[in-house]
Amino acid sequence: MSTRDSVEALNWHYDTEVDDQTLEIRGRKLFFVIVFFSIILLFTALFVFARRICRHHLPDAALPLRQAPQQPPLPPPQRGLDAATIKRLPIILHQSAAAECCICLGTFVDGEKVKVLPGCDHSFHCECVDTWLANHSNCPLCRASLKLDSSFPRILIQAPPSYKFS
């Protein structure tokens, strides 16, 4: 292939007139174009209809886009003890050997007021255990529950009777 052939290959010829016969849509082409657009129109109409039916007939909870009626939020469950119960805990003056509050890790000073938890008899600074018990219902050291359910009877285990044999 010479350079002259390659130059002639690059000379493209454009017609200034558009031939209408290549753009004509007749017979089968016209039928398929009409069927194609009819199918698109049918699916669009079905989609819009289905969306409208679903929006009006499904409950509010089934549609994430629709806002369900707002209900007031539930109060959080109370996890700790109420203030009256915390105030009823016994307070004593610390008088024994060196001990510490396991909440703040501070040592007890002789004559300092400490609260004693019922059941486990663990002692803590008043401020420390009050803050703990406002959020928890158990002992911070041994995790013994301080809530008593009044529906269950309290069972006391008594020592068996002693018999004297003579």
State how far the Cα of 136 lies from the Cα of 124, in Å rounded to an integer.
15
Is 114 among the domain residues?
yes
Mean pLDDT lowest for which of 66-70, 88-92, 93-97, 125-129?
Answer: 66-70
State how far the Cα of 127 lies from the Cα of 147, in Å rounded to an integer.
20
State how far the Cα of 135 lies from the Cα of 131, in Å rounded to an integer.
7
Could you give phi then psi for residue 113, rounded to 5 degrees? -80, 130
The dihedral region occupied by 27, where left means phi > 0, alpha psi between -120 and 50, and beta the remainder, is left
Looking at the structure, do residues 56 and 93 belong to the same domain, yes or no?
no
Q: Which of 39, 65, 91 is the last residue of a domain?
A: 65
Is 13 among the domain residues?
no
Looking at the structure, do residues 87 and 59 belong to the same domain, yes or no?
no
Looking at the structure, do residues 122 and 92 belong to the same domain, yes or no?
yes
Looking at the structure, do residues 95 and 125 belong to the same domain, yes or no?
yes
Q: What are the pLDDT digits (tens) for 107-151?
A: 888 888 889 888 888 889 989 999 998 888 889 889 888 875 444
- Cβ(106)–Cβ(100) below 8 Å: yes
Is 15 among the domain residues?
no
Show the tokens assigned to 14: 């454009």
pTM, full prediction: 0.44
CATH number, domain of 129, equals: 3.30.40.10
State how far the Cα of 144 lies from the Cα of 91, in Å rounded to an integer.
19
Cα 135 off chain centre by: 21
Residue 154 has pLDDT above 50, yes or no: no
Query: How does the average pLDDT of the chain come out, rounded?
Result: 75
Task: Assign 43 to helix, strand or coil.
Answer: helix
